Structure 1
Amino acid sequence: MTAPVIPAYGSRTLAELLPSLGAHLGVAGAVDRLGIAEAQRYVVLLVDGLGWEQRDWWQGTAPFLSDLADNAVPITSGVPSTTSTSITSLGTGLAPGEHGIAGYAFYYRPIGGVLNALQWAPGVHGLDVQPQLTYFERLGSAGVRTQAVCPARFEGSGLTTVALRGPGFIGVQDEEDHPRRVELARDAALSAEPSLTYVYERSLDHTGHGFGVGSPQWLATLARCDALASALREALPADVRLVITGDHGMVNVPVDERLLAEDEPGLLRDVTNFAGEGRLRQLYTVPGQVAAVARRWQDRLGDRAWVLTRDEAFDAGWFGPRNPRVADRFGDVLVAMQGSAAVMTRSLPKELTLVGMHGSLTAAEVAVPLLVA
């Protein structure tokens, strides 16, 4: 069995990105742990689904990103390697075990069931789920003007409230209108000094889920993301640093590599809630049955998965420091897939349509670029 990639929390993950910029922007006590060039104005472009291990496809398809990668060193997402967790780590400067956004879907005690972090349950407010200061709020308190250029429909959403509280929100109505988005980001960056502007691009992740990494559709989308990044750099004055990163990578999961939970009735014995995603399932169990459930899943999956209890996963460093207030959001048992396998369920039919997936601890999923232009 190969070893999982454990994020280097505190030194080289997405959670260190904004604090590293804060060190140059006047935030008291901030330290640049990523070695980013000094500036008084930064633009951070996050390309959802842009993984470091997929960079062989950048050659010829994404020349701007490829040139920047020649002198770059990757960082990692946290665990799970998924958008809601990663964006919250970036926005708060905290590891997953500290902020408690434990994945795409996780058990949330106040509702007595599973909370989908991208499709917020009625009556649940982001401040209740994640009340700690975001790093954007810390930047604002230090006199840094922060703004976020994001799809307009994300304004006021649960995840935006959890991860991106603090910046002025600049809504993008037409995500295909790259010139307009570049204009908005440039104007935001130049509106004050010091400043930090966050720009979110989500099309690569969407295309990878639907068609797979390396597909013609994915390559065409990658080229468009490259053109956006290049146009943004060209539009910004030389003294504004452009920082480009991703929130996770992706692997393609063939149909014959998918284990359907309903077809394995013994695996669901003593499991009260089934959450997470295909590449990292989170199992919540009947009291007293954690060890038995973990053993059952490990015996069935063998070297196709890393199967740990919550305590074992925290001890192994999967989630970073443990915040007791949110620890029970992580599964009693974690099933993290190796290779190109996934655990699926017919109760989530949309997941069955996915080709590209992410969430686990392979390099293809957790390694993301840190590119500075």
Structure 2
Amino acid sequence: MSLPDAAPAPGGPLAEPVAGCAEFREPAYADRSLGDVLPAVARALGVDAGLPRISDDGLVLPGASSYVVFLVDGLGYELLRDHPEEAPFLHAHLGEPATVGVPSTTATSLTSFGTALPPGAHGVVGFSSRIPGTDQLLNALMWSKDVDPREWQPHTTAFSRLAAAGVRTTVVNKRSFEGSGLTVAGHRGADFVGVDRVGERIAAVQAVSATSPSVTYMYDGDLDWTGHRYGVDSPEWEQQLVMIDAAAEHLRETLPDQTRILVVADHGMVDSPMDNRLDVAEEPELAEGVVLLGGEARFRHVYCRSGAVDDVVATWSERIGDLAVVLTRDEAIGRGWFGPVAPAVRPRLGDVVVACRGDFAVVSTELFPYEARLVGLHGSLTPAEMLIPVLVL
């Protein structure tokens, strides 16, 4: 397997694959990525909120007095493209996709969305990552009471900047997410409206989006849950997509024309067959030189003992072959996968990272038994995982 000597510049054309890895897609940071959505919304509202600048030919949205951003967890661009019958309303609005960041996972993506920063800056670098100076992992969805989310992610969020610029900013999400570590890290600065049912969610969005200018963010995680449980090639997932499509159409019918609705996602998903998975619990040689395993099944952070990185790369590369790309931390950073990486963030990244190709996965039935039972997975750089829809309704 041949790998490039240097990374393509971040923000390159979406059609260009990662050199030497034809099925991978580079994150389009500062151009057309999920982290560019709120800067593009601010520009569409005519508001200068001091947000990061997008390239001149990057994401551009039509002007409006208010925006509702509807983020559907797990709705990859390719999945929507391939299901026109289940989602006729959303499919009719398909245009050029955007990318998420690396890894293509919820915690990283939602923080990129809320901060308008790439993972190397905001520091939420996966589902789980090492807490520097320890041999413990931070689970970014469950968080840890010992880790202050304001210290882990110290930057002013895009929501805070919009609010300071006079924009009413609101997060409409499940009540259980209010005050969570991930919410504080990525979405602090916005008013939080807790909802648990579809009806109260729609009513809340109607109320808060009536203000001008305003940005309202609403989240739906049911499609992602269904994909993990049953797979994206399942009738359960298809029926959930039907419900998402109906919800989006109803939202458009409910809100006034001067309020734009933007439908995006945080990643796509692939089904990983059980016979195409490597279980590190059954591969003792893969534990040599390794002190901690993090990340997720499609994108592993491997934390090594001092001086063991080269040996770990060699062992993992030989065992996995062409089923994944195995890189050192510096090689992955050099390819622009995480954007510019802050010094405090570097040790959160694996000394070695493993990005899976095709539908391959690296699981551990010993360390992560629940994850090993999931059907649908995400986290790597395949188009199915990296590309997301950007639908203006």
Q: Structures share a fold, TM > 0.5?
A: yes
- Is 1:54 the counterpart of 2:73? The answer is no
> Per the alignment, in what secondary structure is the counterpart of residue 308 of structure 1?
strand
Counterpart residue number, 1:27? 48
Question: What TM-score comes out, normalization by structure 1 length?
Answer: 0.96
Counterpart residue number, 1:144? 167
Distance in structure 2 (CA, Å) of the matches to 1:232 and 1:11? 28
The one-letter amino acid paired with 1:160 is T
Once the 2 structures are TM-superposed, how far is the Cα of residue 12 of structure 1 from its aligned partner? 1.0
Counterpart residue number, 1:234? 253
What is the Cα-based RMSD across aligned positions, in Å?
A: 1.2
CA offsets 1:299-321 (integer angstroms, 9 cap, x no match): 11111001111100010111111
- Is 1:185 the counterpart of 2:205? The answer is yes
CA contact (8 A) 2:135 2:292 kept: no
> Per the alignment, in what secondary structure is the counterpart of residue 248 of structure 2?
helix
The one-letter amino acid paired with 2:100 is S
Give the 5 Å matches for 1:250-261.
250-261=269-280
- Is 1:14 the counterpart of 2:34? The answer is yes
Q: Of 114, 135, 144, which aligns to 1:91?
A: 114
Once the 2 structures are TM-superposed, how far is the Cα of residue 87 of structure 1 from its aligned partner? 0.2
Once the 2 structures are TM-superposed, how far is the Cα of residue 111 of structure 1 from its aligned partner? 5.0
The one-letter amino acid paired with 1:345 is S
Ranges in structure 1 where 5+ consecutive residues have no aligned partner = none
Q: Of 354, 360, 363, which aligns to 2:383?
A: 363
Counterpart residue number, 1:209? 228
- Is 1:163 the counterpart of 2:186? The answer is yes
Once the 2 structures are TM-superposed, how far is the Cα of residue 63 of structure 1 from its aligned partner? 1.1
> Per the alignment, in what secondary structure is the counterpart of residue 93 of structure 2?
helix
Aligned residues: percent identity?
A: 46
Distance in structure 2 (CA, Å) of the matches to 1:28 and 1:284? 38
- Is 1:114 the counterpart of 2:137? The answer is yes
Counterpart residue number, 1:278? 297
CA contact (8 A) 2:26 2:337 kept: yes
Counterpart residue number, 1:249? 268
Distance in structure 1 (CA, Å) of the matches to 2:358 and 2:196? 38
More deviation, 31-40/297-306:
31-40
Distance in structure 2 (CA, Å) of the matches to 1:303 and 1:318? 19
The one-letter amino acid paired with 1:134 is T
CA contact (8 A) 2:49 2:161 kept: no
Counterpart residue number, 1:38? 63
Ranges in structure 2 where 5+ consecutive residues have no aligned partner = 2-20
> Per the alignment, in what secondary structure is the counterpart of residue 185 of structure 2?
helix
> Per the alignment, in what secondary structure is the counterpart of residue 68 of structure 1?
coil
CA offsets 1:3-59 (integer angstroms, 9 cap, x no match): 321111111111111011112331255556311111120000000000001124431
Distance in structure 2 (CA, Å) of the matches to 1:7 and 1:74? 12
Distance in structure 2 (CA, Å) of the matches to 1:56 and 1:168? 34
More deviation, 75-84/317-326:
317-326
The one-letter amino acid paired with 2:110 is I
Higher helix share: 1
> Per the alignment, in what secondary structure is the counterpart of residue 25 of structure 2?
coil
Counterpart residue number, 2:5? none
> Per the alignment, in what secondary structure is the counterpart of residue 98 of structure 1?
helix
CA contact (8 A) 2:291 2:303 kept: yes
Once the 2 structures are TM-superposed, how far is the Cα of residue 180 of structure 1 from its aligned partner? 2.5
CA offsets 1:68-100 (integer angstroms, 9 cap, x no match): 11xx11001100000000000000000001111
- Is 1:338 the counterpart of 2:357? The answer is yes
Q: Tell me: CA distance 1:84–1:28, structure 2 relative to 1, closer, same or farther (3 Å).
A: closer
The count of aligned residue pairs is 367
Distance in structure 2 (CA, Å) of the matches to 1:130 and 1:108? 13
